[in-house]
Structure 1
Amino acid sequence: MRVRRLYAPVVLGTLAAGGLAFFAASRTWAHVRVATDGLPSDSIDVSGSDAQPLVPALALVVVTAALAVLASSPRVRRVVGAFTVLVALGGAAVVLLGGSSLEGAVDQAVEASPAWTGTGSPDFTASAWTYVTAAAFVLAGFLGGVTARFGAAWPTMSSRYDAPASRPTVTTPQSDADMWKALDEGRDPTQ
């Protein structure tokens, strides 16, 4: 497989992985039903954003890094790819190793419930969205590694998108041979 063919799938995959991590972080990670005799029961949902506020922010950084690959130079792509790996693996670690913060968010939500009398400890049911978020970060980390490894060989935006001051000055060719030479080099001989 040619390396240049990886460009679109890797960028789109990184965008999708970051978007999936952001979406999964907004879903319910834990569900608790608080029931006390004599009071109406209460159903509480704790989202990933409530339990781990850092997770949606890291997911947005992954999305932004994927977009940065589109406009960056080959050298910068290696840095962006390595940065994506670090952010994504950090996000997966926060999700997988942050179980105590999920329990703390559940306890805080239960204590705020009108059905809670302060006795007993309600059990919560964890959902699969926690693992979906972690898997999305792991996928983003893998794709960031691919970007760091092969990103320098991918096509870049042309210089016409550069700021006018950073563009090289083009001298107008004087002869027909100079015009053909400019065309062969990919320059516009009329500018």
Structure 2
Amino acid sequence: MSGPDHARAKREYTSALAATAVGAAALITAAGQTWASGDVEVPGPLAAAPVQVDGATAAPAVAAMGWAGLAAVAALIATRGRARTAAGVLMVLFGAGALAGVWTGTRGSSLAAAALRATTARGELGGLHVEWGWPALAAFGGAVLLAAGAAAAWRGPAWPAMGSRYDRHGASAATSRNGPADPADLWRSLDHGEDPTADPAQGGASAEEAGGAPDNDDPDRDRARPAGAPAAQKEP
């Protein structure tokens, strides 16, 4: 991957992570707020009982999709290739599920049923006032999560992956130093007292540098000695 393409992929990756976190946080925040409030008219001389409906009661899917979106942040970081594409598809489903939950949860009949479930008072539900800001925030979070998932499914395989930098440099360094890694060769090197991680480009240490004695028993070296030259003395 060239420099500009790598920089673009890194920007897309960072933006997708941030968007996923923002969308999930918006869903979780909105689910914990009051979406509607009203009164339940109790029979008899008792005053009407106030009732409030939060997002988790009106649209249970919103909070669930928010927590799933937070898990998707970790999935984007830990995956690569087709696994990241699959994570993106799941994020699209999470965002779509959150949007569907907001749509059904803010309908009048759904809010009225949720209000009656949220109170122990029994009677007629009076006026129900909807706080549209929080459902709007939940819709925003679902849309952002869906968009981030679509980007991850489409472009995710080209994004950086966790540990890829270390794998790439470590593999290239090991290959350039020692060539293909063969377990049998490594064991043979250890048996001969050699360091399999040493850099051949720097040259191995001579026998004298390693503390070993020179080999004076080499017959080929004696044959190559000029005539009349004294033979090498062998150590006792």
Match of 1:157, SS state, is coil
Q: Residue 126 of structure 2: SS of its match in structure 1?
A: coil
Task: Check if 1:91 corresponds to 2:98.
Answer: yes
Q: What is the CA distance between 1:175 and its match in structure 2?
A: 5.2
Segment of structure 1 superposing worse, 4-13 or 133-142 = 4-13
| TM-score (normalizing by structure 2) | 0.62
**Aligned partners of 1:132, 1:66: CA distance in 2, in Å?**
20
Correspondence for 1:2:
8
1:39 and 2:10 matched: no
Residue 147 (structure 1) aligned to one of 149, 152, 174: 152
> Could you report, residue by residue, the CA deviation over 1:94-123 in whole angstroms, capped at 9, with x for unpaired residues?
22133243221112335x23xx5x3x4411
CA contact (8 A) 1:52 1:102 kept: no
Task: Tell me which residue corresponds to 2:127.
Answer: 123
Of all paired residues, the percent bearing the same amino acid is: 28
Aligned-partner SS, 1:155 = coil
Instruction: Decide which moves more: 152-161 or 48-57.
Output: 152-161
Matches within 5 A, 1:33-112: 33-34=39-40, 38-98=45-105, 99=107, 100-110=109-119, 112=120
How much has 1:174 moved relative to structure 2?
Answer: 6.2
Please say which structure displays the higher CA radius of gyration. 2
SS at match of 2:94: helix
Instruction: Give the number of the structure with larger relative contact order, counting CA–CA contacts within 8 Å between residues 6 or more apart.
Output: 1
Aligned Cα RMSD in Å?
A: 2.7
User: Structure 1 64/38 Cα, relative in aligned 2: closer, same or farther at 3 Å?
Assistant: same
Question: How many correspondences in the alignment?
Answer: 167
Judge conservation of contact 2:58–2:110 (CA < 8 Å) in 1: yes
The two structures have a TM-score, normalised by structure 1, of 0.75
